[in-house]
Structure 1
Amino acid sequence: MSSSNVANKRELTLIILKPDAVQRGLIGKIIQRFEQKGLKLLALKLMMANEELLKEHYIEHANRHFFNPLLKFMSSGPVVPMVWEGLNAVKIAPKGKSDPSLSAPGTIRGDLSVDIERNLILGSDSVEAALREIDLWFKKEEMIKWSQNSNDIL
């Protein structure tokens, strides 16, 4: 595969560590999984998400029964939004299914989560969604562009 074809498949994805991941001290362990998968970290911050931001992020779920409890949970403690870049980043981010009992071993939820309502992590489900979500959570100047030495061509 030529380098131009590889470059065309590089994607951005938004990953958010939920309050339960922060409270359980799993930030480093989860970040390590994305690094081991070969993804490159472009942005990261620890923050309290306000209701306005969460409503905009979860807008497609506004009429669902779990919307208000979800907003309450996501604003109950700090979250860690991150932007990752890599080949097929949206698909390969090892999140697992929302219900950890249905998540495969080797996924974050399959290995570390115990409850569908406290499932540690949120990730973009498409490239288009990732771009919209990244714009909600990060300003352009918060995104760091850098090159990995392992990607340099000699």
Structure 2
Amino acid sequence: MYNCFDIAKQFLKLANEENLGLEPMKLLKLTYIAQGWYLGFYDKPLFANNIEAWKYGPVIPDLYHVTKRFGSRNVDIETLELWSDNKLKSTDQDFIKAVWNVYKKYSGLDLSSITHMKDTPWYDSYEPNVSHKIIRNDIIRSHYKKLIDERRNQS
């Protein structure tokens, strides 16, 4: 299994290929969203790191603490090289690219709004004044499976 840095690094590679940058918020949200869709489609996590329900949304603390120093500036890929040690399988690279192609047009704030909606894993898990509340993978999986079913029923 990968770690969150492996996934985030792949998003940075894709952004660099298109001469785009990713600030920490957008990178965090993309990595979280990729985990959600992967759980929904494959019933297993894409990466092992915990996701927590913080006041301002779902956060992957390990990734947050490494990238927060960038503030609103773009994260450089070299920062993640120290933490990323797994080579992604081509099928997983393709999966991340599919997520990228859908969500790259959104800003970090847009993605944050998407992950804060009513009936999302964050919404169902967040408790004010509770620190380090983990959003369980089964809750994330259930939410994304529901989204997959809704999209299939629309077709």
Give the TM-score of the pair, scaled to structure 2. 0.26
The structure with the largest strand share of the pair is 1
Give the TM-score of the pair, scaled to structure 1. 0.27
Structure number, greater radius of gyration:
1
The structure with the largest helix share of the pair is 2
